[in-house]
A and B are shown apart, each in its own frame.
Chain A
Amino acid sequence: MDDFLTQLFGFLPQEILRFILPLTKILTLLVVLILVVALLVFFERKVIGYMHARIGPNRVGPRGWFQSFADVAKLFLKEVVVPTNADRFLFLTAPLLSLIPAFAAWAVIPLNPSFIIADIDAGILYLLALTSFSVYGIILAGWASNSKYAFLGAMRSAAQMVAYEIAMGFALVGVLMAGGSLNLGVIVEAQSGGILNWFWIPLFPLFFVYFISGLAETNRHPFDVAEGESEIVAGFHVEYSGAAFAIFFLAEYANMLLIATLTSIMFLGGWESFFAGSSYLMNTSMAFLMEPSILWLATKISFFIFIFFWLRASFPRYRYDQIMKLGWKVLIPITIIWIGVEGIMFLANVGPWKVT
């Protein structure tokens, strides 16, 4: 990627190149992200429809592929209604506050060995900081709306996100112990060499806890009490319409994509191939399957995204106290115990990691 861009803009002076290179990367990633999010909305409706024995949206464009673009066009043509007595400034900033962290977190995520916007060593810390930040968007939206439903939704999601962030953080402690670094690229490298070296086997409970906390962090089913249609209409975004609502929607799906990507990177070996290190494929014409590539990462992300949709089609919403119980009394103890177990595994040299 870098080499290609350097060649493309090679005629420019070095100082401008320093700005243009990351800028092109950011723009590429943003455009791809927004397109993927648009398709995600379509696929979610399609998958859930299939699970209801329906066929889902199929009217706009070939087989309904342009459905979400039609939705977006509709939303952007609508009026953004600001409720009476709402805090106008906060009301309009809140959607941005939830969208910005969802996109900014992608800066440290390596999509293949060479594509990364900011290769910083404290990658996981940066991610934890930004994913925590997204709760402010929701709280401010609920607060600024001047509506009791929105406020209740915001309070619920605040408590829920704080509870599950701890489990999430502890699960990541396990990953950084195993990977030996806070840099996501290094964590993926540590998992190289076949499916058995990926962290999901030694860290299976953490893998599970991380994904479940991810569901709760993104306010997805079955943890979507923040929206809870049957109780509080639409929760924190009940007063939002038009473009502001579209931004919340975009942020939710971008967050979902982020969690799926992080789970693939931390536990399923990121861009590493499923067949890496298999002696069976070596020296055959299928040897290219062993190469690490962004396509493997995309496959893993799609798998997790499908699970997101699958869970949404399958489960009813958790009751609020049950969510809290699961977060504080089940997931956090499991992570703490497993970090201890991991330490023992580390000392006894049973893990796949190389002790230095």
Chain B
Amino acid sequence: MKILNIIKTLTLIDLFQGLIVTLKNFFRRKVTVQYPEVKTPVSNRFRGKLALMKYENGEERCIACKLCSAVCPANAISIDSEENEDGTRRTTRFDIDAFKCVYCGFCEEACPVDAIVETDIFEYHMTENHQRLQTKEMLLQLGEDYREKIVSKKEKDYLYK
């Protein structure tokens, strides 16, 4: 055994085995995705930037129940509400702090009227500190702009929920 070990050490067999592994990888197909030009596929369940949805007749879905802000682990959602002229309860303020949000998706799960949803947008930025607050108008606008995409993604994922 001892002699075998000495031979093993002197011939550096273990080292050569390691070198062969790296050499094989040298000729392997590369797995790099060259990001801005090439993008990886995004899951239907991807949790990205938040948006607020409306009904098809243009009425806001959100009823200011504040369940989302209650369940939010990061306290990212701030809601103020008031009675509307038609007697329903509506939000007057619906701010999401993008710096606090951890994209956990609990708000979406908690929402009884499917008002707050997560889109698959992950490429966005802000250049000023105050831009981290996403106001109600911005969230509703986002929901309108990406309505078809959001709806189709949610429909595809519905079966697996």
CA distance A52 to B28 in the complex (A): 9
Give chain A interface residues in 273-322, CB to chain B under 8 Å: 310-311, 313-315
Q: List 18 A-B contacts (CB under 8 A).
A: A50-B25, A50-B26, A50-B30, A51-B22, A51-B23, A51-B25, A52-B25, A53-B30, A53-B32, A54-B31, A58-B34, A310-B19, A313-B22, A314-B19, A314-B21, A314-B22, A315-B15, A315-B18
CA distance A263 to B28 in the complex (A): 30
Interfacial chain A residues near B26, Cβ < 8 Å: 47, 50-51
Interface SS of B by simple majority: helix
CA distance A52 to B26 in the complex (A): 7
Interfacial chain A residues near B21, Cβ < 8 Å: 314
Other than the given A53-B32, A310-B19, A311-B19, 15 more pairs (CB < 8 A) read: A50-B25, A50-B26, A51-B22, A51-B23, A51-B25, A51-B26, A52-B25, A53-B28, A53-B29, A53-B31, A54-B31, A54-B32, A55-B32, A310-B23, A314-B15
Give chain A interface residues in 65-116, CB to chain B under 8 Å: none
Interfacial chain B residues near A53, Cβ < 8 Å: 25, 28-32
Residue of B nearest to A315 (CB): B18
Nearest CB of B to A50, in Å: 5
Q: Mark B6-29, 1 if CB is under 8 A from A, else 0.
A: 000000000100110111011011
Residue of A nearest to B18 (CB): A314
Residue of B nearest to A52 (CB): B25
Give chain B interface residues in 87-113, CB to chain A under 8 Å: none
- Asked if A54 contacts B15 (CB within 8 A), the reply is no
Nearest CB of B to A35, in Å: 25
CA distance A66 to B12 in the complex (A): 37
Nearest CB of A to B155, in Å: 37
Interfacial chain A residues near B25, Cβ < 8 Å: 50-53
- Shortest beta-carbon contacts, A-B, top 3: A314-B22, A55-B32, A51-B22
Residue of A nearest to B20 (CB): A314
Interfacial chain B residues near A55, Cβ < 8 Å: 30, 32, 34
